[in-house]
């Protein structure tokens, strides 16, 4: 009888250990999947914010140049100088 109880206790302990390992593996896979998704969303958000920041800086530069009279009208972009200021961009 003692060996039957020992066998039953061992069987139940093994079953519990196996179910714990399987559920912990599933939980680990789920956690890793969630972490990967969060990382992807963070990368996407960082890219969007980076684009926003670039646009913001470009607009600030443009407004500062306009306010200080440094606007060249695109003369440097096409390689020609404006004639109204003696060729100085």
Q: Mean pLDDT throughout 77-82?
A: 51
Identify the pLDDT of residue 60.
94
Domain spans of the chain, in order of start: 2-69
pLDDT tops 90 at residue 72: no
pTM: 0.47
pLDDT digits (tens, 9 = 90+) for 16-67: 877 776 677 777 888 899 999 999 999 999 999 999 999 999 999 999 988 8
Identify the pLDDT of residue 5.
87
| 72 vs 69: CA distance, rounded Å | 8
| 17 vs 15: CA distance, rounded Å | 5
Cα distances (angstroms) measured from residue 39 to each of 22, 26, 32, 77? 26, 20, 10, 39
């Amino acid at each position: 009888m003692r060996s039957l109880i020992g066998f039953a206790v061992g069987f139940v302990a093994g079953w519990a250990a196996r179910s714990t390992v399987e559920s912990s593996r599933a939980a680990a896979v789920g956690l890793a999947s969630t972490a990967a998704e969060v990382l992807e969303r963070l990368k996407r958000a960082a890219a969007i914010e980076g684009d926003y920041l670039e646009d913001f800086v470009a607009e600030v530069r443009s407004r500062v140049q306009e306010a200080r009279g440094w606007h060249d009208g695109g003369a440097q972009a096409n390689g020609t100088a404006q004639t109204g200021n003696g060729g100085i961009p």
